[in-house]
Amino acid sequence: MALPSQAQNSPQDYVRLHNAARAAVGVGPVTWDTSVQAFAENYASQRSGDCSLIHSSNRNNLGENLFWGSAGGDWTAASAVQSWVITPINFG
């Protein structure tokens, strides 16, 4: 069963690290949006039953980064953002 990360990281940790990665490739910053957060949490709950890392089909032109880590890992905002950074970049 997949569960949302329980790491004690604030939204600002994700935004700060994500924006540093975006700046490195010349892409503008993002801000935290609680409505997007609610959408993401709902989608993560849907995926928790099948552990599938598949993008949602109804993203309303939003980008979507997925992260998976094995149970018991000490996953942090930095872990998630680093996994996105080393994935082929497709901004735009």
More confident residue, 16 or 84: 16
Task: Give the residue-averaged pLDDT of 62-83.
Answer: 79
Give the integer Cα–Cα distance in Å for 87 and 90: 9
For 31-44, the pLDDT digits (tens) are 999 998 888 888 88
70-79 average pLDDT score: 81
DSSP single-letter state for residue 89: P
**Helix, strand, coil percentages in the chain from 3-state DSSP, rounded to 5:** 40, 0, 60
Q: Is the pLDDT of residue 83 over 60?
A: yes
For the chain, the structural domain boundaries read 11-85
First to last CA, the chain: 32
Phi, psi for 38 (deg, rounded to 5): -60, -40
Gyration radius of the chain's alpha carbons: 13
Global confidence as pTM: 0.64
